Structure 1
């Protein structure tokens, strides 16, 4: 796939695929959609089943262990691909959080979905950033030490090492957010606490219902 034409990629970025799958799930299970005829419902189910299967296949494995998801994938090779210059291939916390949330909303999930959720939640726990917080001052943001800070997660993690990384418009990977230009530092969500926190909160109840 041409990297400049990433619109043809399988796209989890901005929850594009997740939002479609959630709507299709509602069509199939919510009484408010009972007016939809059976022929259309059958098409929705086929689309939904294929979408869930694709999403499961996109969960990346490292050393034989399931981890999380990238933002976008080559639709034929099923491998992560870059999008904009500052969106390189990597494990994406925001999109992975949304995927896991969607999976945990499914009633009576299949065994592959259960395995995906357990593995994904464990990955989030393993890559949380502790003892640091974002501080805004002088029209900029800084990562500073704070032993009492709540955990946060990086937008991107390097596949294979789980190192948080950051990218400016030059497309060069950096491992410190201070090393990219201010415009990108302020103009993109690089570090956030709620991605992993949302997963952990939901998973705490879900795993009691669907233990490993």
Structure 2
């Protein structure tokens, strides 16, 4: 890696709190507080964080977490109902909750939060399999699962959390598990530079290089984080260069210069599940544009940006009349593709079974993301990798800090008001799809009950932590 790339990444480590958002999007919301009011609110926020963290730790399973529990802890869910010996690896489960605990520690110095983060890490380490990674869940009664899943940020989120915690602790167990996980990331990288959906080989689409659900993108993000934390590891740099090459060679040729969700061993777009055809995917293409820019910032190699202009043009051309983009665009014809189970093609999204129509993103509005990606690319060309990084990672002025605090004060008040005396945030009358018997498709029925959500906890902790961190920065002026 170039000296510039190393230097840019080292700034992240040295500079603790840095704002990573576009100042032009910040608008005051008439929530300006006096100094005394802000001090009082800070104390309330810290107390809320302590209560929230202390409560949430009480609903753990062997140090790990699921997606939802009922307030009496009698029922637990991940993507499906879970027993009392199973935790979730996929966000918003164990690694994401662990990151929330770590975020509280960094913002407030709360040693108890750091200890809870350590407990979450130990739960993950118990479930780290023989190949050094993780599947979707960990069942503590059955720890012989050897699958490594890169679907939905599963293994990637675990590696990311362990690396972040490894920077805060002198813990030989956590360090050893982190190094095992990093070796796994490089070992599982395909010879073409991508990553499979799952490892070891399954003999089906799980073996394909997979962008779907951000698989390869999250792997690249983890390797960028790894080089930030361990900048002298040449193997990590080599992995990033292989990944950058894969991003380039996997782009499809004009007139459809986007990317597919998955590629077979011949680097051809390939089928995955029966409703996921070989096609060009606008959502994947937007994601890949930003991953290419991330790699450019790190590797400082301008050729990495070369696929982007054609991809941007193609995205603008494929917007449908309803203002959205199809998830799948047919190779050759450019028509939207809609497939139902079991591999039945239909003409319109309305013709899909409700189970698929409401359970999979066949269409999405990408306009905002496309505009931001286009602007980011233009800035990359204008500024170069070093100055682009500086423009995206910079300290805020006093006025900018005040504006951001004003912007989120309303959210802070709502979070504090919603918190129970116990410290819990309970989602009242939470509605979710009824689980059907095996072999039956969802019939449109929903269940409603009060539930405690890991996602809500993570979101609230992120907002509260941001408020404290920004306040600390403002106090320096």
In which range does the TM-score fall when normalised by the shorter chain?
0.7 to 0.9
- Within 5 Å, give how 1:100-179 maps onto structure 2: 100-105=289-294, 106-107=296-297, 110-130=301-321, 132=322, 151-179=323-351
Mapped to 2, the partners of 1:115 and 1:37 lie a distance apart of 26
Q: Is the 8 A contact 2:289 2:308 kept in 1?
A: yes
Alpha-carbon distance in structure 2 between the residues aligned to 1:104 and 1:199: 14
Normalised by the size of structure 2, how large is the TM-score?
A: 0.35
Quote the residue 2:241 is aligned against.
49
* Bigger share in helix: 2
Structure number, greater radius of gyration: 2
| Distance in 2 (alpha carbons) for counterparts of 1:42 and 1:179 | 52
Question: Which stretches in structure 1 are left out of the alignment for 5+ residues?
Answer: 133-150
Cα deviations across residues 65-87 of structure 1 (Å, max 9, x unaligned)? 46111011012x11011000000
Q: Are residues 37 and 45 of structure 1, via their aligned partners in 2, closer, same or farther at CA, if it must alter by over 3 Å?
A: closer
Displacement of 1:156 in angstroms is 0.7
Contact 1:177 1:185 (8 Å CA) reproduced: yes
Deviation, 1:124, is 0.7
Q: C-alpha separation between the residues in 1 aligned to 2:303 and 2:253?
A: 14
Would the alpha carbon gap of residues 10 and 210 (structure 1) be closer, same or farther in structure 2, given more than 3 Å must change?
same
Ranges of 4+ aligned residues in structure 1 off by more than 4 Å: none
Q: Which residue in the other structure is 1:94 paired with?
A: 283
Partner of 1:183: 355
Does the alignment pair 1:70 with 2:242? no
Quick one: distance in 1 between partners of 2:316 and 2:231? 43
Query: Which structure dedicates a bigger proportion of its chain to strand?
Result: 1
Deviations 1:74-122 (A, max 9, x none): 12x1101100000010111222211111112332753442221111111
Q: Root-mean-square deviation (CA), in Å?
A: 2.3
What SS is found at the alignment partner of 2:358? helix
Aligned 8 A contact 2:286 2:370 in 1: yes
Q: State how many pairs are aligned.
A: 180
TM-score by length of 1: 0.76
SS in structure 2 opposite 1:167?
A: strand
